[in-house]
């Protein structure tokens, strides 16, 4: 007799989303839970706790640096407004004038000729051709 599964509880089916990274709030929760459930007869050594706090500090500083870099790149991308660019989107090459720049999550998106172009797809940046000269 063959038996088939009635149902399975994957994260997606159960409405759970799984993230691949921990943020600083998750890290603090882990430390708090670890302290809450530690064995009182064998508490965490001071050096272990200090090491974890140092790791948290490094994580927080790294996160701040990434955020600063993201905004610096966004400000830099705003300087492209009005410039002629060539970019690759998928397998297509897009050429035109940058009309706008926006942040979408952690990505910088340019609007070129009405198309959405990721900042990472840029291949060439040029001064616009002056139509007033012959």
* Confidence grade of residue 31 (pLDDT, cut at 50, 70, 90): confident
Question: Residue 86, Cβ neighbours under 10 Å: how many?
Answer: 16
Least confident span in 2-6, 44-48, 76-80, 90-94:
2-6
Check if the beta carbon of residue 91 is closer than 8 Å to that of residue 46.
Answer: no
- Considering the chain, what is the average pLDDT of its residues? 79
Check if the beta carbon of residue 100 is closer than 8 Å to that of residue 111.
Answer: yes
* Confidence grade of residue 10 (pLDDT, cut at 50, 70, 90): very low
Q: What local confidence, expressed as pLDDT, does residue 80 receive?
A: 92
Q: What local confidence, expressed as pLDDT, does residue 101 receive?
A: 95
pLDDT digit string, tens, across residues 58-111: 888 888 898 888 889 889 899 999 999 999 988 999 999 999 999 888 889 999
């Amino acid at each position: 007799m063959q038996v088939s599964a009635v149902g399975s509880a994957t994260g997606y089916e159960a409405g759970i989303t799984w993230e691949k990274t921990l943020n600083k709030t998750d890290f603090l929760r882990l430390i708090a839970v670890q302290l809450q459930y530690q064995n009182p007869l064998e508490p965490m050594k001071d050096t272990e706790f200090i090491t974890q706090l140092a790791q948290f500090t490094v994580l927080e500083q790294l996160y701040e640096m990434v955020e600063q870099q993201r905004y610096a790149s966004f400000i830099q991308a705003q300087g492209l407004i009005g410039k002629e660019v060539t970019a690759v989107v998928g397998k297509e090459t897009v050429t035109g004038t940058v009309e706008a720049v926006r942040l979408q999550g952690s990505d910088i998106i340019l609007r070129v000729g009405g198309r959405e172009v990721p900042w990472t797809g840029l291949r060439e940046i040029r001064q616009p051709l002056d139509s007033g000269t012959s």
